[in-house]
Homo-oligomer: A and B are copies of this chain.
Amino acid sequence: MFEQITLIGIGLIGSSISLAAQKKGLARTIVGHTKSKESTKLALELGLADKMAPTTEEAVKGADLVILCTPVGAFEAIAKQIGPHLKPNSTITDVGSVKGYVIEKVAKYIPDDVHFIPSHPLAGTELSGPASGFAELFENRWCLMTPLDETDPAKISELGDFWQALGSKVEIMDPDHHDTVLAVTSHVPHLIAYTMVGTADHLHRIRNSEVIQYSAAGFRDFTRIAASDPTMWRDVFLTNRESTLDILGRFTEELFALQRLIRTGNGQELFDYFQRTRSIRQGIIEAGQDTASPDFGRAKNTKN
């Protein structure tokens, strides 16, 4: 599909793109770049790139497709560096979890003869770094693209084909709507998980060893999300601030309403609430977005 793909940043997402692109034969050459010397060495050892370039400018030279795979907070500086070195008629995309901010900070540095098409593959795990990637990461996951109005439809379609070739399902979305949807399905859930784990950590009445030992009663599910990459998530909250705070306000309002039902002993309304939330799980399973196996399939179960 492409003569040369350049990956700026080679963590979980960058390394997974490389492995999947190699498996599917989507690029003749893959060039990578990362600031970290350790990750550069590891990326070469793991065969994630044909070449690791020492600078972003060198990395993008000759690339038909450039993909920004660093935390979002680094995008502006990188765009400024690489803008003048991008190949005419090439495509540049990213994998950032916020889109309004990215468009605001990146678009202005991209020359008119280069196609900037923001993307967001909804895929990941709680691990990070070049060794955490795997070729199947994008399979059956959505990739949301938020192109600008003036972008050539043929180029949008070409990039969509690339994401599909990696295993993704592709949807086009307005950037602002994207940022609200993701605040609900990702950003606020992560913040709440971080908060729950932090609350447990700060409670001196209960030993940390107790929290850990007895975590299987529900708490452990939150710790997976709260183990996600700290730099990435710091950047997400700082760059999708408005939507995050907006949805957080709704969450808190709802939490106070449930708190009041508990305080006043309103069992019927609690029951009705818990009944409704149960059906959403069923919808997710039917949409193929989670396993139907109890306990995410963690339980060793002779019935499975």
Binary contact track A206-245/B, C-beta < 8 Å → 1, others 0: 1010111111111111111111101101110110010011
Using a CB–CB distance below 8 Å, which chain A residues touch chain B? 73, 97, 122-127, 132, 134-137, 139, 141-142, 144, 171, 180-182, 184-203, 205-206, 208, 210-228, 230-231, 233-235, 237-238, 241, 244-245, 247-248, 250-252, 254-255, 258-259, 262-263, 265, 267, 270-271, 273-278, 280-284, 287, 289-291, 294-303
A261: nearest chain-B partner, CB-CB? B237
Point out the residues of chain B lying under 8 angstroms from A141, CB to CB. Answer: 216
Task: Give chain A's interface secondary structure class.
Answer: helix
Other-chain contact of A142, B214, B284, B289 (Cβ < 8 Å) = B214
Tell me if B303 and A185 are in contact (CB < 8 A). no
Point out the residues of chain B lying under 8 angstroms from A301, CB to CB. Answer: 134, 136
Tell me if B281 and A290 are in contact (CB < 8 A). no
* 24 A-B pairs (CB sep. < 8 Å): A125-B299, A126-B281, A134-B299, A135-B302, A142-B216, A181-B206, A181-B211, A186-B219, A188-B196, A192-B255, A197-B280, A199-B247, A213-B289, A215-B287, A220-B289, A221-B222, A223-B280, A230-B271, A234-B267, A234-B270, A245-B263, A248-B255, A296-B297, A297-B297
Residue among A198, A250, A282 with the highest chain B CB neighbour number at 10 A: A198
Residue among A219, A228, A301 with the highest chain B CB neighbour number at 10 A: A219
Point out the residues of chain B lying under 8 angstroms from A218, CB to CB. Answer: 185-187, 189-190, 193, 225
